[in-house]
Structure 1
Amino acid sequence: MTAPATQTAHGFSTRGWVLFAIMCVLWGIPYLFIKEAVASFSPAAVVAGRTLIGGLLLLPFALHRGALRPVLKVWPWVLAFGAIEMAGPFLLLGHAEQTIPSGLTGLLVATVPLFAALIAVIGGDRGVLKPARLTGLLVGFAGVAVIVAGPGLAAGGPGALLAVGEVLLVALLYAIAPFIVARKLADVPSLGTITVALFAVGLFYLPIGLLTQHQVPTLSSTTALVALGVLCTAIAFIAFFALIGEVGPVRAPLFTYVNPIVALSLGILILGEPITTGLLIGFPLVVIGCWLAATGGSLRARGPAKAEPPTAPAP
């Protein structure tokens, strides 16, 4: 793959590193904001709020680039993408974080590459069965098992285990969504896809959010909800598109391996979430396993991308 003009042949440009750092933060902090938002907003209200805010902020950019008209021609697949990438995951994350810590949620979502590798195997990609990548699968899921079996979660009872299952389902949905983009939406602008999907999800959840909202939102929850829509949705997607243009589609999603570190750190430092033995042992296993499963242990691009790259999961 030919490096972009501002990228050196052997690494990121300065702008690339800045965008990389921005994405590490912007998609590492949503779990903290979700935890704060669901303290007084219903999960459905959180989904409606963040998607409509994000959609409204992205709309001018989508209109300026003429990105909406091509997307409307394939609207059934855009709705399918929105359901799998946003509607299901955003609601499940909000419900799960009413029970389990935000840092743990961020770590479990980081298992997306593991599920993506399994899906690739089912689809006939034998490259995933190479020793390094297969080892990554085994190590990553072993890390999840250590975390789930830890005393902290066990003390939480069935509710905590259900929440873990919800987050792992989110990871599975996030692993499926890129296949829709790659096979059905590769020829339409990503910005248009994201904008239309955000509006569709937001409008769907708006009446549900109004019906399920039974308490007056607090200032901290409202601030967190606005931050989710502005920082973690609209600005994050703009930065992600810029990062792809700067460093290429293969290395752009590498920030997802740093996101759980940010999520865990913020949960511990700001919310006072506990550091359990299961996290100390399972966390490095999950991160290393995901990296090996997705890359085979290499940071180098293995070949040119023929289609526009699928989006990384938006937490």
Structure 2
Amino acid sequence: MTARGWFLFSLMGVLWGIPYLMIKVAVEELSPSMVVFARCALGAALLLPFALRQGGLTRVVRAHWKPMLAFACIEILGPWWTLTDAERRLSSSTAGLLIAAVPIIGAVLARFFGDTERLGARRLTGLGLGLGGVAVLTVPHLTGGDAWSLTEVLLTALGYAIAPLIVARHLKAVPTLQLIAPCLTLAALVYAVPAWASRPSVAPSPQTLVSLAGLGVICTALAFVVFLELIRETGPTRAVVFTYVNPAVAVAAGVAFLSEPLTAGIAASFALILAGSFLATAGPAGRSSGTRLVGKGRPPFRGEVTSTRDARRCDRHTSE
């Protein structure tokens, strides 16, 4: 993976590792619909002006409205509500830990739908190590919530795994802002009425307001721009591997802000998760068998065979 890919990957591990803590704070006083509405409305308010300034937004939406609608439903409308609702009963760290199933689901779905992105032994080993680290972190926390809440988080993970495939297959030509801004606007409109119906009778506390602002500005507007750039840089399967880092960030936030214990098991899982992330996002070990290197740092000599296609061409000219 390129240096730019690693930067985006590391940034996403933080940007989508801290929302669980913010959601947990917000749902103590607000309904899930209100939290999702505020998050989407803030994100849309920040990104929509820039998307409009690029020009051609209406044309883009008309040309790609079907996959954009699918992306909005599978990435935002459904998963954000189920995740937020689940955190009314689950701890923030437990939610973050379960979301780490996204890379495994994404890898399975990519192969099931015939994705050409190769999963070699090194990347499969990385996925396995990451899953092992997630298991070490998850098991002690699974007693904190009911079965439906755990199901809601797993449904969220399923949506998070499918959405990048939609982007990679149908929306790569759509500029990032012109994809995210309309989707967030749609989600805000959908949740506007439920949010109004469940509005609190008293003003939220400063902690809740700060959490909502963080969710909208940092974890939505900024994070989505980085996320789509990461998909375009590394592909859909590698892009979601940053969710292996999310549990580490979620646990660290719990230790720092909620005084949760930092055990030896958690420290061991950090190493597994980071090692798994590195291996799972690694590029192929070498070039394909159809291409032969002609010398590092120099162009091929005139007439030199550099690929299988060139070899066939040479054979054809020889026979003539």
TM-score class normalised by the smaller sequence: 0.7 to 0.9
Asked whether the 8 Å contact 1:110–1:290 carries over to 2, the reply is no
User: What is the deviation of 1:23?
Assistant: 4.3
User: What is the deviation of 1:51?
Assistant: 0.3
Alignment TM-score, normalising by the size of structure 2: 0.74
Asked whether the 8 Å contact 1:67–1:189 carries over to 2, the reply is no
2:314 alignment counterpart: none
3-state SS of 1:181 partner:
helix
Larger Rg: 2
Q: Distance in 1 between matches of 2:287 and 2:215?
A: 34
Please, which of 182, 196, 201 is the counterpart of residue 196 of structure 1?
Answer: 182
- Per-residue CA deviation, residues 158-205 of structure 1 (Å, 9 max, x unaligned), is 61x433332222122111001111222222222111111001111101
User: What is the deviation of 1:142?
Assistant: 4.3
Asked whether the 8 Å contact 1:144–1:286 carries over to 2, the reply is yes
Unpaired segments ≥5 residues, structure 1: 2-9, 304-315
2:41 alignment counterpart: 52
Q: Identify the structure with bigger relative contact order (alpha carbons < 8 Å, sequence gap 6+).
A: 1
User: What is the deviation of 1:212?
Assistant: 3.0
2:234 alignment counterpart: 250
Q: Distance in 1 between matches of 2:16 and 2:56?
A: 24
2:291 alignment counterpart: none
**Identity of paired residues, percent?**
43
Unpaired segments ≥5 residues, structure 2: 289-320
Please, which of 29, 32, 48 is the counterpart of residue 18 of structure 2?
Answer: 29
RMSD: 3.5
1:175 maps to 2:161: yes
1:225 maps to 2:209: no
1:273 alignment counterpart: 260
Asked whether the 8 Å contact 1:37–1:221 carries over to 2, the reply is yes
Q: Distance in 2 between matches of 1:55 and 1:86?
A: 12
Alignment TM-score, normalising by the size of structure 1: 0.75
Instruction: Count the aligned residue pairs.
Output: 283
Partner amino acid, structure 2, of 1:250: T
> Which deviates more from structure 2 when the two are superposed, residues 255-264 or residues 58-67?
255-264
Question: CA separation of 1:171/1:83 partners in 2, compared to 1, >3 Å: closer, same or farther?
Answer: same
Q: Distance in 2 between matches of 1:130 and 1:258?
A: 21
Question: CA separation of 1:192/1:126 partners in 2, compared to 1, >3 Å: closer, same or farther?
Answer: closer
Please, which of 76, 81, 85 is the counterpart of residue 91 of structure 1?
Answer: 81
1:121-200 alignment to 2 at 5 Å? 121-125=111-115, 130-150=120-140, 152-154=141-143, 156=144, 159=146, 161-200=147-186
- Per-residue CA deviation, residues 64-83 of structure 1 (Å, 9 max, x unaligned), is 11252212332232111101
3-state SS of 1:73 partner:
helix
